[in-house]
Structure 1
Amino acid sequence: MPFTVAWAPDEAPALQVTVQTLLPLMQNCNGGKLAGKKIMESGFPEITFFSKPLEKGQTLQAGKLYFLEQGRMEFTTAVMFNLAVAKNGEIQECTAEKVVYRSR
């Protein structure tokens, strides 16, 4: 998948969700509305993020949510989420990058 901005490790889990779940979460992430919240309080479905350590006890978390659109052709809309999380578990920064590609 051609993510250009987001950190997108192969180990990052992917979870299929509905468009009604994904798009508001992406908007809240990029709009700064998740800052200061714990991951479990932020509206993410149950997903285990892939993590790498940063400085001062922080971690960078990556996870991918996607949904399928079916018509004459099938398309996948995928969003890679990158969360900078403080030592106390609060989201400090959130970035979401969306890509759409033909599935079949």
Structure 2
Amino acid sequence: MKKILFLSIFMIAISCSNSKEIKQVAEVSCGQCKFELDSDEGCSLAVRINKKAYFVEGFKIDDFGDAHDEHTGFCNVIRKAEVTGKFIDDKFVASSIELVDEIE
């Protein structure tokens, strides 16, 4: 019984450590238009962290305005944002995205 309890606690600890939430400033843009990611869904929000791009779950590309706006849209510019979330199945599952750059 003790072995089963120990194994259960060990497995929970491992699964919790693999899904640790991060918070940092990252590049945010359209995965297809600016980060060269492939998707059948068209334009989708993505983040680039440590020089690697990931599609975002939890937010949509138009949540921050028109994605195709010439000056501020994610399909035309790469912006900076403070992102909070975790990596699950090679995607960034975001709990918070706050733009930190100033667009004139």
Q: TM-score range by the shorter chain?
A: under 0.3
The higher relative CO (CA closer than 8 Å, separation ≥ 6) is in: 1
**TM-score normalised to structure 1 length:** 0.24
TM-score, reference length from structure 2: 0.24
